[in-house]
Amino acid sequence: MESRDAILNRIRTALEGGPSVDLPPVPEVWPNTDPSTEQLVERFAQELHDVQGEFLRCGSMEEARQALAGLLDQSEWNLLGAVDRPICRELTSELPSERVVWTRDGWPPSEMAEPPVGLVAAETLLADTGTCMVASDTAEQRLMCYLPPACIIVARTDQLAEHLPAAWPQIAGRTAEAELRGEFVFITGPSRTADIEKILILGAHGPKRLVVILIG
């Protein structure tokens, strides 16, 4: 049997509810050094800063709500588009209902681009690159990462991982859940390009501004 046929048979078996497929081993790419939470926070914040991202550390959810309200007012963002996640509901619970619009199935992309800022929840934060991994179950959730001119990502400190191999068990476990659909979006700073005369341009293919709110 050719390799292609073997792979397709494994996929068919899994889709038909057959024997579970063993998860792949954790990639041996970078060693785990078991840094402390504060070391992870410091590394993530520095890496994010280096790619023109903004970082807000909040000790509690109440502090994070105040930081979000201040950020919206300071930036004159009168409408917040948000992915419907528990942490996003918590974070926006004290905002007036008319200032938040939640993603919904079939939401036209032209309307999704109208809020000046989007709010999404991170699944994992990778400290070594300042990257946010966002799980998007639907096309609308994925587009919320791209269409608004600015993006706010919220996460908790226990979601920090040293690097991608350290986060692999969580990723592999989630992707093995048959009822889940969608994909991961890896976000490292604002959208950028240097294709034109090697001049760095922010916001060419997505949000021009990225803010990460870390709680804990």
196 confidence band (pLDDT: 50, 70, 90): low
Examine the pLDDT at 200 and tell me if it is beyond 90.
no
- Give residue 191's pLDDT: 73
Q: What is the DSSP string of 142-201?
A: HHTTTSSSEEEEEEEGGGEESSHHHHHHHHHHHHT-TT---EEEEE-SS-EE-TTTT--E
Q: Is residue 78 part of a domain?
A: yes
pTM recorded for the entire structure: 0.82
Q: Which amino acid is at 99?
A: R
Q: Work out the number of other CB atoms within 10 angstroms of the CB of residue 156.
A: 17
Nearest to 83 by CA among 66, 99, 101: 101
In a domain, 131, yes or no: yes
The more confidently predicted of residues 30 and 97 is 97
Cα-based torsion angle of the residue sequence 29, 31, 34, 37 in order, rounded to the nearest 10 degrees: -40
Q: What is the pLDDT of residue 88?
A: 97
Q: Are strands 150-156 and 209-215 parallel, antiparallel or unpaired?
A: parallel
Query: Is 172 among the domain residues?
Result: yes
206: tokens are 């997505």
Nearest partner of 55 among 185, 202, 153, 201, judged by Cα: 153
* Cα gap 74→68, rounded to integer Å: 10
In a domain, 22, yes or no: no
Q: Which two tokens stand for residue 82?
A: 């948000």
On whether residue 82 sits in a domain, the answer given is: yes
Q: Are 112 and 81 in contact (CB under 8 A)?
A: yes
- Banded model confidence at residue 75, pLDDT cuts 50, 70, 90: very high
Residue 206 within a domain? yes
Residue 202 pLDDT class (50, 70, 90 cuts): low
The token duo for 207 is 């949000």
The domain total for the chain is 1
Average pLDDT over residues 32-44: 94
Q: List the domain range (segments joined by +) for residue 166.
A: 36-215
Mean pLDDT of the chain: 87
Q: What is the pLDDT of residues 133-191, one digit of tens each?
A: 999 888 898 899 989 999 999 999 999 999 998 988 888 777 777 676 778 889 998 87
Query: What are 115's two structure tokens?
Result: 């809020």
Higher pLDDT, 35 or 205: 35
**Is 23 a member of any domain?**
no
Check whether 86 has a pLDDT greater than 90: yes
- Tell me whether residue 11 is in a domain: no
Angle at alpha carbon of residue 159, lines to 134 and 121, rounded to 5°:
35
* CATH code for the domain of 47: 3.40.50.10420
